[in-house]
Structure 1
C-alpha cells in the first residue's frame, strides 16, 4: 500500500520538504472540530459558512488578497453528502469583471486538522497564481479540518471536493462582487497528492459538475495507480507513515475495510498517532518501527482492500478538456512509470495531453521546474487559446 519506495530516511526528507511551508505554520492555528449535523440541506458546492481571513506571504506579512475560510457541501466516495472546509482567495485589485478561477489541490500535509491548508494560512505556492489576477479555491479535502479521518488518496472523494470548492467560490457573494461567478473560466491545478486529486476532478467534472466552465487541468507527480505501485514494491513497506495514511484514509472512506481488525495493539496506537499528526511528525513517528510489529496480517492481501485501492486508478475516464501532465524521471516518491501510463491512457482516449518528462529531476525539483511552465500553459487555455498536445511524439 506504499506509494513511496525508498528508505525511511529518503521518504522523510522528500515528503517533509514537499510540505514544509504548511508544517512550519501548523500548530499555532487550528480548526476546531465542528459538527455539521444541524447544517441546512443544500447542493454540492453550497457554502455553509464563510469567515474573512488573510493570506500571508510570510508570517505577519499579509498579501493584497481578500480571503475567506469556508465550509461547503460536497460528496463522499460512496456518493453521500458530506461537508468539507477550505479557503477562497481573490486578488485585491479592484476588478469586478469576470476573472479566471483556479481550484487548487494541495500536496500531502498530514492527517491532523491542524495541518489543513485553511489552518495554516493557505498554501504559499498559490502566490504565483494570485499574481496573475486569478481567484483561487483551495479544498482541505474531506476529514482534514472537519470531523472524521482525512480520506488520504481516496481519489473520488478528493476529486469531488476539488470541484465543489470551485462551485463554492462561484456561489460566495463576496467573491461574486470581485469577478468570480458562473462565467469564470476554471482551471484545475495540483501536484503529488494534489496531482491525484486534480486528475480525479478532471475525470469527474463532465458528469459531476458539468456547469463549471473548466478549460484545462495542469497536474504533475500523479500517484495514478496506488494498487499497482504497491504490488510493484515487492512487499517493501518500510515507509510506514505513507502506508498508514493510505490505510486510514481508505478505512475512513470505506468502513467495511475494518482496519482495526488488521492491527496489533501497538499498531492501533500508531494509527491513532498518525491520525493526529502532520506529515513530518508522521514520518518521524515511523522511524525504527517495522510493519510486522503493527499488523496481524497485511491488508493488501485482502480482496476487499485490493478492490477499493484499484478504484483509485486514474486513466479510465477521459477529461473533456486539455491536460498538462508532467513527471520527474527520477521521482523517488511517485514512480515515473505511473505518469507515463496515465499519459498513455489519456492519449488513448483522445485527450489533448501536453506531456513533459522532467529529466534528471526528483519529486520536489519537478514541482518547482514544471510548475511555472504548467501555469503559463494554463493561462493560454483560460484565455481561450487552443492547444495541440504532444500525444503523437
Structure 2
C-alpha cells in the first residue's frame, strides 16, 4: 500500500473556500473488476476535536492508547484494508479543521459532505495513480462517516455533478445532531460528543455564541472548553463532570430545551439534519434495530423514507441480529459496524459491476 498526504480545496458551511487535509491510499492488489480502478471516498468515524485526532493520523493503528487510561479501537482501519485488498483505491478525508487550524465542526452536514466529495476530486487529480476524471467513485462511511457519506450523497448532484459516483454506503448515520443531544443526555461518556457538537456550532455560527454564553454555567463552559483537543470515544474517564446537561445550564434545563428556546441555536442545528434532499445515486443504508446510541433506527428509517419519496434508489438494511448493549457512547452502535462490513463491501462491488441496485422503498423494514 502506498500513501500520499493531500491538502485540498473545499468549502465551508457558509459556502466560502477553505482547506482540508486527507490521505490517498493506493492498493497493492490489482483491480480485477470491470473498467477502471475505482476510488472509494472513505469517511471516518468519530475521532474527537483536536488536530491529533485526524482520522488519517490513525491509519497505522488499530488500537490506540490515550492517557491516562483509555483505549480506543480504530475500526475504520479494518474496513479500509478490506477495500484495498479488493484492489480499490481509497481516499480518506480528515474533515474540516482536523489537521488544519480551527475547531472541528463535528456532525456538520455540509462541511462533512463537501470534505468527502472534494477528497475524491483531489485524489482523481493525483498524477501516477491510474485514476482519472471518469474513474468510478463510491462514497462509504459508518457512524460519523455514515452521516458524512449521506451528506455527500445528498449534496453531490449540485456540488460535484462531474464525479462518476456509482453509489453510497451509509452505515449507522446520526441523522440529526439536535436529536443526538436530546437522546444522549445523561448517558455516561457522551458529554464530550455533545460538547464537540456545540463547539462546532459556536465556531461556524457566530450568532449562536451569545445564546450559548448566556445558557451555560461554569460547568457547561468548562466541559466545552476541556473537550477541545481530546480524541476518540474513550473519553468517559476524562470527563468526570456531570453527564446530565441540566447541570450545565444556568436555567437548570436540559440543553435540548435550551436549543428549542433559542431561534439562533435551533436554526443552526436544524441545518445539520439529513433527509432534506434525495441522492441521485443508489444508496445502501445499514441500521441496527437496537441502536440506542447516536443512530437510532426510527430516525434512520425516517431518512430512508424521505429519500425514497424523493425518488432515490434506496436499500435499507434493518439488522435485528445485534443485541441491545448499553455502554454510554459505545455499545450496539459500535458492535454493529462489524456485521455491516462484508455485505456493504459486496454491495459496493456490485455497483461497480453495474449490477442493478436492490431497492426496498416499497416496503421499508
- Partners in 2 of 1:230 and 1:148 — Cα distance? 23
CA distance in 2, matches of 1:321, 1:138: 20
Structure 1 stretch 354-363 or stretch 199-208: which is displaced more? Answer: 354-363
CA distance in 1, matches of 2:141, 2:40: 10
Alignment-derived partner of residue 208 in structure 1: 159
Q: 1:315 to 1:113 in 2, by over 3 A?
A: same
Contact 1:151/1:250 (CA < 8 Å) preserved in 2?
A: yes
Shift of 1:237: 7.0
Cα distance in 1, alignment partners of residues 42 and 77 from structure 2: 12
How far residue 302 of structure 1 moved from its aligned partner, in angstroms, is 1.2
Are residues 1:330 and 2:290 paired?
yes
> Which residue in 2 is equivalent to 1:166?
120
The residue that corresponds to 2:7 in the other structure is: 71
Say whether 1:270 aligns with 2:223.
yes
Q: Distance in 2 between matches of 1:124 and 1:308?
A: 32
> What's the Cα RMSD here?
2.1
Aligned to 2:311: 350
Q: 1:140 to 1:209 in 2, by over 3 A?
A: same
User: How far is 1:117 from its partner?
Assistant: 1.7
8 Å Cα contact 1:274/1:282 also seen in 2: no
Q: Does 1:80 align with 2:31?
A: no
* Structure 1 position 316 matched with structure 2 position 254: no
TM-score with structure 1 setting the length: 0.78
Shift in Å at residue 236 of structure 1? Answer: 5.0
1:186 aligns with one of 118, 134, 137: 137
> 1: distance between equivalents of 2:31 and 2:286?
32
Name which of 47, 52, 56 aligns with 1:109: 47
Deviations 1:107-128 (A, max 9, x none): 1111111111222236413000
Give ranges in structure 2 of 5+ residues lacking alignment.
Answer: 61-75, 323-331
Contact 1:142 1:157 in 2 (8 A): yes
Shift of 1:388: 3.5
Structure 1 partner of 2:328: none
Measured after TM superposition, the shift of residue 378 of structure 1 is: 1.0
Gap change, CA 1:330 and 1:255, over 3 Å in 2: same
Alignment partner of 1:385 out of 346, 351, 355? 355
Aligned counterpart in structure 2 of residue 283 of structure 1, from 236, 239, 254: 236
The TM-score normalised by the length of structure 2 is: 0.83
Q: 1:79 to 1:391 in 2, by over 3 A?
A: same
| 1:78-131 deviation digits (Å, cap 9, x = unpaired) | 101111111010113477983100001111111111111222236413000101
Q: CA deviation at 1:66?
A: 0.9
Q: Is the 8 A contact 2:29 2:85 kept in 1?
A: no
Does the CA contact (< 8 Å) of 2:40 and 2:139 recur in 1? yes
> Which of 97-106 and 325-334 deviates more?
97-106
Once structures 1 and 2 are overlaid, which stretch shifts more, 153-162 or 247-256? Answer: 247-256
Q: 1:245 aligns with which of 196, 201, 211?
A: 196
Deviations 1:127-149 (A, max 9, x none): 00101111111001101111000
**Matched-pair contact (CA < 8 Å) for 1:110–1:282:** no
**3-state SS, counterpart of residue 362 of structure 2:** coil
Q: Secondary structure at the match of 1:189?
A: strand
User: In structure 1, the residue corresponding to 2:290 is in which secondary structure?
Assistant: coil
* Cα 1:355–1:113 shift into 2, 3 Å: same
Q: Deviations over 1:269-301 (max 9, x none)?
A: 332220110124533233342534433354413
SS in 1 for 2:287: strand
Q: Distance in 2 between matches of 1:67 and 1:234?
A: 37
> Shift in Å at residue 373 of structure 1?
0.3
Moved more, 96-105 or 291-300: 291-300
Q: Distance in 1 between matches of 2:215 and 2:22?
A: 33
C-alpha distance in 2 between matches for 1:83 and 1:108: 20
